Structure 1
């Protein structure tokens, strides 16, 4: 996954494991829609919006086994202390799940589980520090492992919009400083924001003289074609910013083919500008084939 990220193009597809004791129906859907043919790899989410779902690491293992493509498994700080984080990383390492997306996690108050409490011993930075220790052959307490873990490739996330983009730059810099290889953005709907994010990337790259200079941005792409969906994401999903211009387009679009055109144009523009994209479809995998 690291080598592909640092190549000319990189295309991943987000999968959200179901609230079931198996992910076989989701894997079957990936097969039926043929979405797996168009992407370089996948991600598995970790109980997004604090809703109970199947384990992200085991899901990543099963998807890798099925499609022979690498998967980035999300790990949230919300639900684990430093003991559980390291335990999960050790198990993931044995399963060859070595690409990890470090998240702080959505607030526990959003959960569908009554009285759920967050652990949150720290932000995603602490998980990046733990991964750095593992890659040095040690646990977070500085004790050497008898068998050194396989190298772990850490990824992180960023918002794609802020009134002051300096705040985004500072947060990305901090994550890259802690050796995040790839920074996946929340969905983008404005090519001007894409330009700003690439400028931030270049500024941060110039601050490093080692391997961190190679880090890259991966743009989130969520093909919203329904006004109701756009308004829900903008109002209720933390970190997602849907610009007024996009909502206005959806208000004016009365025909399905117009909505499809907006989706395809945005994807094509992203591919031309920076073909490193993370597709989010809320498990509507059939959308992937429609983009090509």
Structure 2
């Protein structure tokens, strides 16, 4: 057999591939690094390969899906990349040789790294890991390469390009869909498969995430400019969850009938992904036996694009306001109790004092409070504008998109996107912190919604209209590093920034000089202190907040006199605000402990004392 034999097999015959390796190992009781079993339990891997060959697979893949340095690092196995990949090829080759069957090929499997998760690497790091694995598999003598479960299109496209530079082996490139017919980011499947084929892939297709029904629907929608050989590796079904384990339907007869439909749609290569077993591959073999690929219709015209309704509100965003005038926003924490009259009274008083908007935290310090979206809708009825905070801690991707759709429907389009305090510091330390994404990963997803595309890549039918702020902590030792993080957030989609509270007047000039090159506004945080205890707590226990020795000493001199302490805290806040207004157009006042009288007085003071227009060079700040 040769690579030419495999290429001919893939293009001239309906070919049966193997099914899931992880599913069979999982059912056997293994639940850690499946790829490491190539070394510690080689007989298990060998036996599974044998079973798939006996079921009728013409192509089997190496047990190397996650055998790259970045994924093996999670298990402390990053030094074993070479050994694990080498063993994966040798075990598959041994199973083929001992099967006594002719024309069974071994393809080296490489799985995608990039996904939705907050621990994503940058593309350079992931590509280095993937290319290293390609080189190892090619050196060990695979008949071809299989790239599978790639959610990030640019990652798989770049890998195909890099692999083609290194080898003439046949390449099968499979993407995983966000929704029917589309990849993450709204890339149409037809366009993705076409680009992969043009980049050098011999076969392009789909694997994972979907069962046969949804995968078939995606293939039926394809309109391709060439007769591209197609691959399809569906999951056995949608997964269920029983007794703490994921389970899939045992539906081999269904697989036979669906495989026939795949073949009729022009699929050349059919295998299985999650939940599939040798029994599923045997069912595919029944449908594929003796079949030749069906020629697909070729698309000559570009795909039609759906018209996205775009609505832009007449009211300027908070970002628009701060670019034109001195703008004051005031944070007032949603209450922890259901009696909200004091909160509404405070909000009205802050509005009447001259604040441009009220910012509403999202369960700050991981303690449950009244939902800020509900409060924002109530405040809207009172003519009060809200900047709604959105944390990544409490909602998975499903909940985040749902919440954002609701916010847009309610025309609450000013957002502060933050990662959120970990749940262990709050009222329920045993609660789970979700963190499907960080704030930096959520920002581009919101930007995508502003283009009318959901997280999964499907059309929303209408573009959202969000303006997004992000957090900036200047209270750090190395301000230049913090500014580089701001630059990354701007690239991700941040429109402006809110800082942690600042308690040192000298910081404002330093922050201005470090950020004046940025193209977005910054709101600097000012928070009146209420007591010496409050000052010490903030300085010693709250991450990202630092108080000068002089500030703490001034609060300490007020002693236990609450009135004197509040007056001292307010006096310092006024002085800080005056200093900040010299450099920045945006002021972000933080109300301590719902004592809105303090921020009302501070807002009135600012409206009475900051009337001079800023210079043009500082307009955006």
Between the aligned partners of 1:6 and 1:173, the Cα distance in structure 2 is 19
CA contact (8 A) 1:13 1:42 kept: yes
Q: Report deviation, 1:24.
A: 3.9
Map of 1:85 onto structure 2: 400
Between the aligned partners of 1:220 and 1:194, the Cα distance in structure 2 is 11
Which aligned segments of 4 or more residues in structure 1 are displaced greater than 6 angstroms? none
Map of 1:281 onto structure 2: 591
Distance 1:114-1:253 versus aligned 2 partners, 3 A rule: closer
Between the aligned partners of 1:269 and 1:166, the Cα distance in structure 2 is 22
Between the aligned partners of 1:123 and 1:167, the Cα distance in structure 2 is 18
- C-alpha distance after superposition, 1:135-189 (max 9, x if no partner): 111012221112332x100011111211111221111111111121111000011
Between the aligned partners of 1:54 and 1:107, the Cα distance in structure 2 is 18
Q: Report deviation, 1:104.
A: 0.5
- Higher mean Cα deviation, 8-17 or 193-202? 193-202
Between the aligned partners of 2:403 and 2:522, the Cα distance in structure 1 is 26
Listed as ranges, the matches of 1:210-289 within 5 Å are 213=519, 215-253=520-558, 256=564, 258-282=568-592, 283-289=594-600
SS at match of 2:384: coil
Selected match of 2:442 from 121, 124, 127: 127
Selected match of 2:346 from 3, 16, 29: 29
Map of 1:193 onto structure 2: 507
SS at match of 2:471: strand
- C-alpha distance after superposition, 1:60-94 (max 9, x if no partner): 2221221x232110111011111111100000111
SS at match of 2:514: helix
CA contact (8 A) 1:160 1:187 kept: no
Would you say 1:167 and 2:484 are equivalent positions?
Answer: no
Structure 2, unmatched stretches of 5+, are 1-317, 606-621
Selected match of 2:332 from 5, 12, 15: 15
Between the aligned partners of 1:276 and 1:135, the Cα distance in structure 2 is 25
Between the aligned partners of 2:442 and 2:341, the Cα distance in structure 1 is 29
TM-score (normalizing by structure 1)? 0.89
SS at match of 1:269: helix
Map of 2:498 onto structure 1: 184
Distance 1:260-1:97 versus aligned 2 partners, 3 A rule: closer
Q: CA RMSD in A?
A: 1.8
Between the aligned partners of 1:281 and 1:136, the Cα distance in structure 2 is 35
Question: Which structure is higher in RCO with an 8 Å CA cutoff and minimum separation 6?
Answer: 1
Return the index of the structure with the highest Cα Rg: 2
Between the aligned partners of 2:339 and 2:398, the Cα distance in structure 1 is 26
Selected match of 1:49 from 360, 365, 377: 365
Selected match of 1:202 from 516, 527, 550: 516
- C-alpha distance after superposition, 1:182-201 (max 9, x if no partner): 11000011122111221222
Distance 1:233-1:131 versus aligned 2 partners, 3 A rule: same
Map of 1:61 onto structure 2: 377
Between the aligned partners of 1:197 and 1:157, the Cα distance in structure 2 is 14
CA contact (8 A) 1:225 1:263 kept: no
Distance 1:168-1:147 versus aligned 2 partners, 3 A rule: same
Would you say 1:137 and 2:452 are equivalent positions?
Answer: yes
CA contact (8 A) 1:77 1:121 kept: yes
SS at match of 2:390: strand
- Higher mean Cα deviation, 186-195 or 93-102? 186-195
CA contact (8 A) 1:106 1:238 kept: no
